[in-house]
Chain A
Amino acid sequence: MLQIEVNSVYKSFKDVQAVQGISLAIPSGEFVALLGPNGAGKTTLVEMMEGLRKPDSGEIRIQGKSWQKHENELRKIIGLSLQETRFQEKLTVRETLRLFASFFGLGEKRVDEVIAWTGLESKHQSMTGTLSGGQRQRLALAVALLNHPQILFLDEPTTGLDPHSRLDLWKILKSLKDSGETTLILTTHYMEEAESLCDHIIIVDEGKILREGRLEELLNENARNLDELFIQLTGKTLNENPEKSQ
């Protein structure tokens, strides 16, 4: 069964064409990386899939249902972590999780589970304003995992993190992958993240899909890794374009 179907979706902001006719289909249980530089249109595309933005044209279906007609139903089955979310600084990690758990009618038991899963036991009584970048990202992931999401969207979850914190987050995501119950859509501009975590890689630039497929299908003699493939496709490296994501 297809979890996500995107058909000829367009989105623009004033003069910027953020997404230009993207179509894709993501089956259940697959881990998908949307790989592209800043400003490629990854966040706009993911936010449309999350039901937070409406496309100018085209259609998006989650488990065959549209956001317009089934928003309440779909909100219960997805989990997400936005770029740059700041939680209330005067609440503890546990209080923040309790608050978000209550939106799904979940109680303390589930809060304890996600705290353990994301390794926040030692910080559960700390105010979120005192957390490091890595701990904040783990909290964002914990919030996203509260409702046992069937589809999980993570928007650049490791950007700005040190290598150690990034590896911690990858471990959590790998354990999620092993459970096989969740479909993951991950936006990133780190090649190794896409290579290490995802089954399917979609390379995006300037609002268009340049290439997609499994890692071994994408690589060839001329492109031995994703970096080389990206240069081959665009003539530039992934981190060359410093513009902010749309």
Chain B
Amino acid sequence: MKSFKSNQLYQLTLTQFLETIREPEVLFWGIIFPVLISIGLGLAFTQKTESKFHVILVETQPTELDSLLCLYAQPEQIEGKEIRTWKVPDDILGNTAFRFERKDWHSAIVSLKRGEADLIVTDSTGRMQYHFDPHNSQAQLAYMKLSALVHSPEASVTTTAAAPIRPLTLKGVRYIDFLVPGLIAFGIMSSILWGVSYTIIERRSQKLLRRMIATPMKKSNFLFALMFVRILMNIVEALILFFFVWWLFDIQIQGNIGALLVLFMAGNIAFTGIAVLVSCHTSKTEVGTGWINAVQMPMMILSGIFFSYHNFPEWSIRIIKLLPLTALTDGIRSIFNEGAGWMEIITPSVALSVFGMLCLVIGMRFFKWY
């Protein structure tokens, strides 16, 4: 009886696995980087931080703000400039600090262009006037907070609110709860596109594919081994990421774990199909890199990985929802945060699998082995 070690599928899988784990960059970008991103962003958005706003004063006459600054702000000298800092404590929303600096109009505009300032305050016959980009949400927030503060300097936002604020502490509503499912989905896409597409293109360019098919190797075994190892690595990467976020941020899977596994596999099928299609013809790694980026970048931005796609115009949301990464991210997020089960993931799982198979069939139709 032949040893399983001389089985070509076993050897193809083993060598693919060895090559993957022997590449330090793969381990860094596949495992360490997503964990670092989640820890960094998780800490940034879960800890109570101080909001800072930089305001440039371009006044010809004193305004009400100047008298308030004399009372509440602390003057300090930084690099030869006089800066006044007004700190407003708030237990619920976090502290706010306004830094005021005097400049002429031209320098103030330069600061705004460089992103060093949020607001410019001028005066008109002793009354304050605010200048800022109305489409800039940070500038808007600075204006709203400062104008409220000038109106009632003793009160914080929390105490002046018409209705009391009750902070939500439910699981699944924090930014880290939003982020982690997105990172898992993004990890699947990124890992498969680079791991499968790039490997195929590189081996084609090295004439290794040609050398391999000049033997009795089954082409299907080669592709299966490539996909299997990549899916295995994706499971390991997702488990490591999940362990860290569970440990640090108490992230929990509220929905059905079986449904999560099915959706995870459907995502892998979808992106494997795309990866084969992307790499089916070219033998130039530069061209391949361009194609991979062309597929990956739009989805990374549009599919709601780091922020909600509901920020995009209404007309575009229907299109964004059709993207495979959006379907995968929304599905994983609903299982993690909303307690979704089998019924909720049937449609995205079937759609992702069918799409992946379709891409795979088209990719294989035009596949160039050498």
Residues of A within 8 A of B (CB): 50-52, 72, 75-76, 78, 80, 82, 84-88, 90-91, 95-96, 98-108, 143, 147
Contact = CB atoms under 8 A, between A and B. Distances in A.
Contacts of A108: 5-6
Output the residue of A75, A91, A96, A103 with the most chain B CB within 10 A. Answer: A103
Nearest to A153: B214
A57 to B, nearest CB: 21
A100 B203 CA distance: 15
Nearest to B5: A107
Contact of A90 (B3, B22, B216, B217): B22
A52 B207 CA distance: 12
Contacts of B211: 80, 82, 85, 143
Given A85-B206, A91-B19, A99-B12, A80 B6 contact: no
Interface in B225-272: none
A86 B212 CA distance: 11
Contacts of A101: 6
Nearest to B19: A90
B216 A75 contact: yes
B18 interface: yes
Given A51-B214, A105-B6, 11 more contacts: A72-B216, A75-B214, A85-B206, A88-B15, A90-B18, A91-B19, A99-B11, A102-B10, A103-B217, A107-B3, A107-B5
Nearest to A53: B370
Nearest to A146: B215
Interface string B195-220: 00000000100111011101111000
Contacts of A96: 15
B224 to A, nearest CB: 14
B7 A102 contact: yes
Interface residues of B, number: 26
A90 B16 CA distance: 10
Contact of A99 (B2, B15, B216): B15
Contact of A102 (B6, B18, B203, B210): B6
Interface string B1-40: 0110111101110010011001100000000000000000
Contacts of B210: 52, 82, 85
Contacts of B207: 82, 84-86
Nearest to A71: B216
A12 to B, nearest CB: 18
A95 B14 CA distance: 9
B19 to A, nearest CB: 5
B232 to A, nearest CB: 17
Interface SS of chain A: loop
Nearest to A51: B214
Nearest to A140: B211
Contacts of A147: 215
A98 B211 CA distance: 15
B6 A86 contact: no
18 contacts: A51-B214, A75-B215, A76-B216, A86-B206, A87-B208, A90-B23, A95-B18, A99-B12, A100-B215, A101-B6, A103-B216, A105-B2, A105-B6, A105-B8, A107-B2, A107-B5, A108-B5, A143-B211
Output the residue of B208, B210, B216 with the most chain A CB within 10 A. Answer: B216
A37 to B, nearest CB: 22
Given A86-B206, A88-B15, A98-B5, A80 B214 contact: yes
A80 B207 CA distance: 13
Nearest to A147: B215
B77 to A, nearest CB: 57
A246 to B, nearest CB: 14
Contact of A104 (B10, B15, B215): B215
Contact of A107 (B6, B19, B23, B208): B6
Contact of B208 (A50, A51, A85): A85
Contact of A103 (B8, B22, B208): B8
Interface string B150-175: 00000000000000000000000000
Contacts of A99: 11-12, 15
A100 B11 CA distance: 9
Contacts of A80: 211, 214
Contacts of B19: 88, 90-91
A86 B211 CA distance: 9
A87 B22 CA distance: 15
A80 to B, nearest CB: 6
Nearest to B8: A102
Nearest to B22: A90
Contacts of A52: 210, 214, 370
Contacts of B3: 107
Output the residue of A82, A108, A143 with the most chain B CB within 10 A. Answer: A82
B204 to A, nearest CB: 11
